[in-house]
Amino acid sequence: MRALLIHGLSSDSTSWWSLTDALEGAGWDVHTVDLRGHGLAPRADSYALADYASDLSGEWDLVVGHSLGGAVAVLAAQTEGFARSLVLLDPVLDVAVDEFDGILADQLSELGLTADSIAELKPHWHERDREAKLSGIQHTDAFAVEHTFTDTGRWDVTKEAAALAVPTLILSGDHAVYSMLAPQTVETLRAANPLVDYVIIDGAGHSPHRDEPIATFDAMLGWLATR
């Protein structure tokens, strides 16, 4: 069983160390990727969501995407045979027009985080998660972050999510903490697509796999066991 893990904005493939361990322990052959403009991947002239998706290939039993990676996974999964199942960790399926500038500014400011500020913001994260986040920031092109938003234009992959033809699990952050996935978006999606399951990870924010890894991995592996 082959799995592909797709990281979020200003992260890279090293962010998946704990999920890699969990999936490999369950018998999966795990592969990770650095998206264009991130990690060790080449830089590019365009960073629309469709550009990210066009870089992905292969046939995978499982594709996991976090945040930006969740949106990219949804687009890539429109290609028949790309994924037999999807797990989306607090995916950014839709950015409201009135929130666009604020979210872009927040993402650009994140590039200024240091080891000390990450430790202050995320004291509950494993040390390796904090180290991986710092490495991701240091290996992310600011041009890529800005143009992920500006080249995409209207950020909305909800129609593509509604058209997904494979079993899909969405693991959302707890809205009492923070999530980039609006409840109404999920309600509309689940009404349109019976293949979509939805679980909120209590106590987690936008990065369930780093905020509450045990609960996140238990939910994921339990769901996969039923496929």
pLDDT score for 153 = 87
What is the tally of structural domains in the chain?
1
What is the H or E stretch that residue 207 is in? none
Residue 44, SS3 per DSSP: coil
Mean pLDDT of 109-135: 97
Expressed as residue numbers, the domain containing 179 is 2-224
196: domain CATH number is: 3.40.50.1820
User: d(Cα 164, Cα 117) in Å, to the nearest integer?
Assistant: 38
Q: Is the pLDDT score of 50 beyond 90? A: yes
pLDDT score for 2 = 98
Q: Is the pLDDT score of 195 beyond 90? A: yes
Tell me if 107 sits within 8 A of 100, measured CB to CB: no
pLDDT score for 227 = 79
Q: How many residues does the chain have?
A: 227
pLDDT above 90 coverage of the chain, percent: 97
User: d(Cα 105, Cα 89) in Å, to the nearest integer?
Assistant: 22
